[in-house]
Amino acid sequence: MQLFNELKTLGHKHIKADKKANERVPSGIWLACPKCHQSFYHKDLGLYQVCPNCEYGFRITARERLAWLVDKFDEEDAELKTSDPLKFPNYAQKLDKARQNTGLNDSVLTGTAQIAEQTFALGIMDPDFIMGSMGTVTGEKITRLFKRATRKNLPVVIFTASGGARMQEGIFSLMQMAKISQAVQEHSQAGLLYITVLTDPTTGGVTASFAMQGDLILAEPRALVGFAGKRVIEQTTHQKVPNELQDAETVLDHGFIDAIIPRKEMKEKLAWLLKLHNEGNGVNG
């Protein structure tokens, strides 16, 4: 019942089909799209796990995304483990569970990837790993990804998904924002390309650092993109926040996203962009 766990952890609404349908399809469950609220049989979401009605991309693990995104992938830094710097109660158990659920050592999967013969450094955050929160290992893996890319003259692509800072690692989590930003800047100053793809949800310290530092900022349809959580805003301002305030489409209208790319077109568009930036124009050196 992997799918049920996913539903629970991600808080998707779900309703059971009527009993007869259940008998015919034993694992038959229906999902409601959290954005447009239409219901679908889970298989209707297809390979890309996308709402057939509004193209919202359901939250998927990093390894699920990797499976359809790349032609080749060499994983790096898979052995790094957090030192649990605050010795935070019950954190070790939480980590164990997250590792089991995602097959990752922390909330980001990193390595060297290839799409359509374009080689690049790839990072994919996992919303299932403690809400994609940014711990010290997340920060270290992303920093190393950029440093390696700078050394090898490679572009970087990162799929962001994060609830923000890792509370269990406190101030050490916060410091990752500055640490990663230094590595991004070094990579940029070497004239190299950095593409971010904002997926649902991209918030907090990730938005306020490497998610918004791309040369190109892409997003998946209707992905939640913001800094502060909706509840925090409402409790602070005592005002209701419009539902679509942090939809990628709204964020694009406000000037912060280059393009919204449906999941099924992502591989092809990334290949096109990587190639375009790799061709050079032989100009004005």
Give contact residues for other proteins (rule: CB under 8 A).
Answer: 188, 191, 193, 215-216, 252-259, 269, 272-273, 276-277, 279-285
User: 114, 70 in Cβ contact below 8 A?
Assistant: yes
Please identify, using beta-carbon distances, which residue of 71 and 253 lies nearer to other proteins. Answer: 253
Give the CA radius of gyration of the chain: 19
Beta carbon of residue 279, minimum distance to other proteins (angstroms, whole number)? 6
> Stretches 3-11, 21-29, 43-51, 254-262: which one binds Zn ion (CB under 5 A)?
43-51
Does 36 contact Zn ion by CB under 5 A?
yes
Quote the CA–CA distance of 43 and 168 in Å, as a whole number: 36
Residue 216 contact among other proteins, Zn ion, none, beta carbon within 5 to 8 Å by kind: other proteins
Closest CA to 102 of 129, 124, 138, 140: 129
Restricting to residues 45-84, which ones interact with Zn ion according to CB under 5 A? Answer: 51, 53-54, 56
51 assigned to a ligand binding site: yes
Among other proteins, Zn ion, none, what does residue 36 contact (CB within 5–8 Å per kind)?
Zn ion
- The nearer residue to Zn ion, 52 or 85, going by C-beta atoms, is 52
End-to-end CA distance of the chain: 58
Instruction: Check binding of 33 to Zn ion (CB under 5 A).
Output: yes
Residue nearer to Zn ion on the CB measure, 35 or 59: 35
What is the C-alpha to C-alpha distance for residues 98 and 171, in angstroms, rounded to an integer?
21
Cβ neighbours of residue 120 closer than 8 Å, sequence gap 6 or more:
112, 113, 114, 149, 154, 155, 156, 157, 274
CB of 264 to Zn ion, least distance (A): 15
Q: Are strands 259-260 and 194-202 parallel, antiparallel or unpaired?
A: unpaired
What residues form the annotated binding site for Zn(2+)? 33, 36, 51, 54
